[in-house]
Amino acid sequence: MSGASLTREQFVERLREEGANRYHDHHRYHVLMHAGELTRIQLQQWVLNRYYYQTRIPIKDALILSKCEDPEFRRMWIHRIHDHDGTSDSEGGLAMWLRLAQGVGLDREEVASCRSVLPGVRFACDAYVELVRTRSLVEAVASSLTEFFAPDLMSRRILAWERHYPWVDPQMLAYFRARVTRARGDSEEAIEYVTTHAATRSLQELCIAALIRKTEVLWHLLDTVYAAYVEPGWGPRGPRS
């Protein structure tokens, strides 16, 4: 799109508006989850399938790092990989998610293998990696701005799980608790970079499109799990109770 570039305030408002309207907290699966209306199997399968998305996050962040020749940016961004993979003296998000899987009654090794992930979920998550791989650095960073909305979602999720799913040990919700703070800081870093480097209207629109595409990935993941385990509930091997 040609024309004058948006001001920083207008650009941020567009990003927030598009992201908020399309964010997956509106999805029926999350609505059911937060209302306490998911069965044990439905909750378990969301955890199992969502883990595949978690494994893609450090990969997309490594791709983002590979696109940038600025050491200052790489030093700022690399903590995201450490947050998910962990370090020699700390547990990362992937390990926390596997503890969550154990907490809902799943076999840790089965979840970690990803062999039971639904094909549609795999397709959506791999599409996110491909998006980051093929777009410019600033577009790739912009696609991460769903983090704007993660803290509120994680806070609601913690309260909902503690209230409606008391059979899950609250200690197993460590991943959600950690993301409340980390996602807020991550989104601030990303929006500063995007608003600084998307200097033309056309590049701003490409960044907005990248964010929209990311929301579609998250939505498709939930569509797939909903179709398999809620309605019509065919599951990978037939109907589920």
Q: Where are the chain's structural domains?
A: 8-229
| Residues in contact with 173: Cβ distance below 8 Å, sequence separation at least 6, in sequence order | 100, 103, 158, 161, 162
Q: What is the pTM of this model?
A: 0.93
Which DSSP category does 238 fall into? B
Per-residue pLDDT of the chain (241 residues; tens, 9 = 90+): 558 999 999 999 999 999 999 989 999 999 999 999 999 999 999 999 999 999 999 999 999 999 999 999 999 999 999 999 998 767 899 999 999 999 999 999 999 999 999 999 999 999 999 999 999 999 999 999 999 888 888 999 999 999 999 999 999 999 899 888 888 888 999 999 999 999 999 999 999 999 999 999 999 999 999 999 999 988 775 444 4
Q: Which CATH number fits domain 8-229: 1.10.3720.10, 1.20.910.10, 1.10.10.10, 3.90.850.10?
A: 1.20.910.10
In DSSP notation, 139-207 reads HHHHHGGGGGTHHHHHHHHHHHHHHH-TTS-GGGGHHHHHHHHHHHHHHHHHHHHHHHH--SHHHHHHH
